[in-house]
Amino acid sequence: MDIPYTTHTLPNGLDVIVHEDRHIPMAAVSVWYHVGSRHEQPGRTGFAHLFEHLMFKGSAHHPAGYFEALQEAGGLVNGSTNTDRTNYWEVVPSQSLELALWMESDRMGHLLPALSEEKFTTEREVVLNERRQNYENRPYGLSSVALAEALFPPDHPYSWVTIGAPADLVASSVDDARQFFRTFYHPANASIAIAGDVDTEATLALVERYFGEIPAGPAVVHPRRDARLAAPARLVLEDRVELPRLSLAWHTPPMFHDDDAAMDIAADVLSNGKTSRLYRALVYDTRLAADVSALQASREMSSVFHISATAAPGQSLAAIAEVVERTLDDLAATGPTTDELERATARAEAQFVYRVQTIGGFGGKSDQLNAYNVFTGSPGFIHADRERYARATASSVAAAVRRWLREAPGVALSVVPRGQASLALPGAVPVHPA
């Protein structure tokens, strides 16, 4: 699973990573900016995700949309934003590599002249509509907002969801957006990875040609804050849903910590497949739940472990909570069985393999090289990353579950149909997420 690469840093601070893979005549370009919603401020949220939209709407020397031009060249194009980073990528025929690099450089160095009031207002409305579709108007959609607000204090950078608060977006201006861009979207806060049917020296020369004259921006301060709950919290959210759902969440260590891998394995043991512990206990054996899931949501400052179960018709969240608690106690006491541990680590290894089978896109080799470079400073960190899972034992997984899920407080959120707060866990306090 070795990904050979060459690295170079331009005088303006841009990290450049090149990986040659001549199997097919395609090239992948991945640009990561080390900025996400955690770099925003309370009352001024949503800019990182808004810029994901604005960056596709044209720059000074290409004022038209970016999707159309690259798709006409036979390319695939996309981007995404989360709490910790924003990325943009293209996979194009190798003869169109120069086009992709030129367009990426133009929006990095020359976006603001094309950022008009009209474009800003239009994309802000698109984001507000996306927020309505994915949160306000989606069953259980506001549960992630409620959990974030409960897990973190209001001034913590993880206390708001990446898409931002509607009031903050409405209050924002094009001048606010321009300042956000100047602060974060520049070479010294970016990393570019190129993979595929390319020549390393020629590619480095192209990157120097198109990105070398872009000025380095100001030094970026990346927020670093611990997160701990003083006491357990029980909350209830009334929503337009048919069936109650229980969502549990705990603070866990940041990505690349050994316990982060252990909690990944715990999530697999608890809910991956019909033989998993929570599926058997809640869905198959007792018919208490219609579905159940567990997830270690790894992030740069600190992570969150989630368990979610939707009650089957006529079943109670209290009964579900009791089974979950008992299952977690068992896992914390003895850890996974030999078979469970082997399956979980094999699935983790398979995910590493899947991610390096393509040169680009979400999870391809260019994306992986960039992710490791931005978060660890080492594009080849994949070996150390895999080793975390290889080191896991039944005892280490049990110890992680004890430390993070049994000995530390968490949040229990009951999402219930409107007007039926009595279906929540006893003692739950009503919440109204923004």
In angstroms, rounded to a whole number, what is the distance separating the alpha carbons of residues 414 and 241?
12
How many CA within 13 A on the CB side of residue 190? Answer: 30
Strand order in the sheet with 289-297: 289-297, 303-311, 245-252, 411-417, 233-239, 429-430
Q: How far is Cα 157 from Cα 225, in angstroms, rounded to an integer?
A: 8
Q: Tell me the per-residue pLDDT of 18-42, one tens digit each, with 9 for 90 and over.
A: 999 999 999 999 999 999 999 999 9
**b/e string for 197-235 if b means 16 or more Cβ within 10 A?**
bbeeeebbebbeebbeebeebeeeeeeeeebebeeebbb
CB 399 within 8 A of CB 340: no
Q: Which residues contact 291 (CB under 8 A, 6 or more apart)?
A: 283, 309, 310
Cα dist. 198→26, 69, 161, 205, 364 in Å? Answer: 8, 21, 38, 12, 16
Q: What is the mean pLDDT of the chain?
A: 97
Calpha distance 70→106 (Å, rounded):
14
Element (H, E) at 296: strand 289-297
- List, for residues 55-74, the tens digit of each pLDDT value: 999 999 999 889 999 999 99
Task: Note whether 406 and 332 are within 8 A (CB).
Answer: yes
Query: Would 6-211 and 233-430 be classified into the same CATH topology?
Result: yes
Residue with tokens 């306000």: 136
Report yes or no: 309 and 245 within 8 Å, Cβ to Cβ.
Answer: yes
Per-residue pLDDT of the chain (434 residues; tens, 9 = 90+): 789 999 999 999 999 999 999 999 999 999 999 999 999 999 999 999 999 999 999 999 999 889 999 999 999 999 999 999 999 999 999 999 999 999 999 999 999 999 999 999 999 999 999 999 999 999 999 999 999 999 999 999 999 999 999 999 999 999 999 999 999 999 999 999 999 999 999 999 999 999 999 999 999 999 999 889 999 999 999 999 999 999 999 999 999 999 999 999 999 999 999 999 999 999 999 999 999 999 999 999 999 999 999 999 999 999 999 999 999 999 999 999 999 999 999 999 999 999 999 999 999 999 999 999 999 999 999 999 999 999 999 999 999 999 999 999 999 999 999 999 999 999 999 999 97
* Cα separation, 19 vs 22, whole angstroms: 10
pLDDT value of residue 434: 78
* Calpha distance 211→188 (Å, rounded): 11
Q: What is the reported pLDDT for 415? A: 98
DSSP string, 368-405: HHHHHHHHHS-TTTHHHHHHHHHH--HHHHHHHHIIII
Tell me the C-alpha distance between 348 and 336, whole Å. Answer: 15
What pLDDT, on the 0 to 100 scale, is given for residue 65? 87
What are 323's two structure tokens?
């089974």
- Give the three-state DSSP class for 90: strand
Closest C-alpha to 295, from 349, 249, 350: 249
pLDDT, tens digit, 9 for 90 and up, residues 369-397: 999 999 999 999 999 999 999 999 999 99
In 158-213, where do the E strands start and end? 190-196
**125 contact partners, CB below 8 Å, separation of at least 6:** none
Q: Hey, what CATH topology would domain 233-430 get?
A: Cytochrome Bc1 Complex; Chain A, domain 1 (3.30.830)
Dihedral over Cα of 54, 55, 60, 66: its sign? negative
The structure tokens listed for 189 are 């806060």
Between 200-211 and 97-110, two packed helices, what is the crossing angle to 10 degrees?
30
Distance CA 285, CA 267 (A): 19
CATH topology of domain 6-211: Cytochrome Bc1 Complex; Chain A, domain 1 (3.30.830)
Sign of CA dihedral 95, 99, 100, 102: positive
pLDDT of residue 1: 75
Q: How far is CA 282 from the centre of its chain?
A: 28
* CB-count burial class (<10 Å; 0-12, 13-18, 19+) for 422: exposed
Is residue 90 a contact partner of residue 75, using CB atoms and an 8 Å limit? yes
**Spans of all domains in the chain:** 6-211, 233-430
